Structure 1
Amino acid sequence: MAYYWGVDSASAVTKERYNCVLTNYGKPLYWGRYLTTVQNASDGLTKGEIELLRNSETKVLPIYNNFRKAVGYREGRVVAQNASFHAKRLGFRKGTPLFANVEKFFEVDSDWLRGYVDYLYGSDYKPGFYHDPVNGDFAAAYCKAAAEDPRVADQSILWSAEPEPGATKRRNAPRYKPVKPNCRANVWGWQYGRDATTCPIDTNLIDGRLYEML
């Protein structure tokens, strides 16, 4: 299986920021960006950024983070609906995975995860979860949700934040070895380096199957 190197950032992609990554780390094959502006957390992705990235032959990996906990089936559906609305507004094509940003300090339950998956299953997009499989409630909630509904394991794409050996240049990326939950899971993304020193980015490796969906 081929693995592809790329980055993500909470701040907007400008020509300067792109060139910073290009010069110091290598060419990113994709760039993870947040679909909406959340105060003190993220700049919302714009059509101008998408154009800049496409012109640079860099794909866009969409992340949704406008929620503070992941509890309750109905709430999971609402977050998925909002993520889907913004992905459509920005012109993301059918079949693109939308990654809910589930932080390690969030309260998480299996109902919320099932709600998120259920809503997106009937939409134009695929469910994805950025998560920490070691710290916090995600791994246990995910395995419970997958046991309750096999569709969770079938449909979801997981983007793991562990382990964290640290940011590297593209050519020095580690071998693909993200931590996975103790149950069936498509762990197709790994954020292996956070808060790079030279440019404000995180570094990632993703599975070729995810890369093709972007």
Structure 2
Amino acid sequence: MRCTYRFLPYVLSLVLIFITAFTFYMYGSADRTNPVTASDDTQESNGEESDLRNTITNEINTDAGNVDNSIINEVNVSNGEINNSVENTINSKNGDIGNHIENHMSGDDATVDNQVENNITNGSNNTITNHITNNVEVNVDVHVKNYLVNNVEGKGDDGENDTEENGNGDEAGREEENGDGNGNGEASNGETPDTVWGVDSASLTTEDMLSCVRENFGDPKVWARYLGDKDGVSYGLTHEEVEFLHENDIDIMVIWNHFTDATGYEKGQSEATAAIEMAREFDIPEGVAIFANVEPIYPIDADFLLGWYDVMEESEYESGVYGIFHPDRELYTAYETAAEENTSLLENNYVWTSSPNIGITTEENAPEYDPEAPEGSLIAGWQYGIDAQTCNIDTNHFDSNVFDALWD
């Protein structure tokens, strides 16, 4: 027995040494280049106001770097705001970045801001996939911005940027450092394109105002302005503005917004009569279209549209209507009904639609021309972005259909 216990400390020591060696071996053999899943974040908000902010920053230095970010936001409120900020930095031979962002919003007054920056250095086999979906079921005051930047230093990069748009509000113009813009101006052969880029504003057009637009957004070919002042809403066009805009080769679209109730045939007639009288007093040339401004909160029916159109058609001016011509809106339905009663409405009345609302962009990054309006409408333009924080403007595509009905 003494002999057995005598060797016990040596046996225990050997066992301890073996366990320690095995532990170091397993740790040293561990794979330190496993892919990294950075984030899987789902948030849901219900209430009167909401502000969701997701900030993700990943920095990886391995032989094989893999980042996969997934963000899903559900916001069912008024005054909803979503801000997603993602920055990925990989320093590896094999870089793989995937960003999946879904924003679902309903209510009034929606703001969505997606900012994604991907940086891969020293890579030889790189893959970047950006997938952004904005499902914004909002028609009033929608601001959506997607800003994507991919910086890749290496060979064999495979980049894919995918932004999907669904719902009523849709998504904003995408800005990418390595992307191509959609310019809208004169065609390369000198011919006038089907659309030109322009703006509308409730503010007076001054030299500073025009400089602000040109420096921050682009060079407008058309500027839509209001006929007569409306207290607390808009400044009316002045003769000095007209001269200034024409000196800068900018045509003028004329808007009438002196009503808040767009129902009844006689109401449509009276508004058209008042608009014509003011246009004559202001010396607006014949053949210029005057657009009745139907805001989304105004009650609207087919009788108003018919009354407006009938009086305008009998005058020296052309008839036009502005508003959200989305199939779910009363204006869309009222317009279809009016066109059924008077088919010449489709042929002769100009439609300036603010649907879908993509969001404010520069001229260079303007979306492809894709307005919504009742089938067969005479489309004058598409106000695709509203309420720029800089310069107090909205951004538009203006259709060649309306060129002859502008004040040039």
Greater CA radius of gyration, 1 or 2? 2
TM-score normalised by L of structure 2: 0.51
Kindly state the Cα deviation for residue 212 of structure 1 after the two structures are TM-superposed.
3.0
C-alpha distance in structure 1 between counterparts of 2:209 and 2:200, whole Å: 12
Work out whether residues 31 and 58 of structure 1, in 8 Å CA contact, stay in contact via their aligned partners in 2.
yes
Distance 1:136 1:105, change over 3 A: farther
Q: Which of 176, 181, 185 matches 2:369? A: 176
- Give the aligned partner of residue 214 of structure 2: 22
More off after superposition, 171-180 vs 5-14:
171-180
- Give a deviation string over 1:174-199, Cα, whole Å, max 9, x none: 11101112x43112210001011221
Q: Does 1:132 align with 2:318?
A: no
- Give the aligned partner of residue 200 of structure 1: 392
C-alpha distance in structure 1 between counterparts of 2:282 and 2:401, whole Å: 23
Q: Which amino acid aligns with 2:257?
A: N
C-alpha distance in structure 2 between counterparts of 1:79 and 1:110, whole Å: 15
Q: Which amino acid aligns with 1:209?
A: N
- The DSSP-based 3-state class of the residue aligned with 2:364 is helix
C-alpha distance in structure 2 between counterparts of 1:151 and 1:195, whole Å: 33
Q: Which amino acid aligns with 1:60?
A: I
- Give a deviation string over 1:56-78, Cα, whole Å, max 9, x none: 11111000000011111111011
C-alpha distance in structure 2 between counterparts of 1:6 and 1:56, whole Å: 13
- Give the aligned partner of residue 32 of structure 1: 224
Kindly state the Cα deviation for residue 136 of structure 1 after the two structures are TM-superposed.
3.5
- Give the aligned partner of residue 88 of structure 1: 280
Q: 5+ residue gaps in structure 2?
A: 1-192
Q: Does 1:164 align with 2:348?
A: no
C-alpha distance in structure 2 between counterparts of 1:184 and 1:16, whole Å: 40
Q: 5+ residue gaps in structure 1?
A: none
- The DSSP-based 3-state class of the residue aligned with 1:170 is coil
Q: How many residues align?
A: 213
TM-score normalised by L of structure 1: 0.95
Q: Which of 237, 248, 251 matches 1:45? A: 237
C-alpha distance in structure 1 between counterparts of 2:203 and 2:236, whole Å: 8
Q: Which amino acid aligns with 1:150?
A: T
- Give the aligned partner of residue 248 of structure 2: 56
C-alpha distance in structure 2 between counterparts of 1:11 and 1:57, whole Å: 19
Question: Going by fraction, where is helix more abundant, 1 or 2?
Answer: 1
- Give the aligned partner of residue 258 of structure 2: 66
Work out whether residues 130 and 159 of structure 1, in 8 Å CA contact, stay in contact via their aligned partners in 2.
yes
- Could you tell me the percent identity over the aligned residues? 37
- Give the aligned partner of residue 97 of structure 1: 289
Give the root-mean-square deviation of aligned CA atoms. Answer: 1.2
C-alpha distance in structure 2 between counterparts of 1:208 and 1:166, whole Å: 22
- The DSSP-based 3-state class of the residue aligned with 2:225 is strand
Moved >3 Å (runs of 4+) = none
- Give a deviation string over 1:88-137, Cα, whole Å, max 9, x none: 22222111110000011111111110010000111011110111122541
- The DSSP-based 3-state class of the residue aligned with 1:62 is strand
Q: Which amino acid aligns with 1:166?
A: G
- Give the aligned partner of residue 147 of structure 1: 340
Work out whether residues 117 and 155 of structure 1, in 8 Å CA contact, stay in contact via their aligned partners in 2.
no
Work out whether residues 318 and 405 of structure 2, in 8 Å CA contact, stay in contact via their aligned partners in 1.
no
Q: Does 1:116 align with 2:308?
A: yes
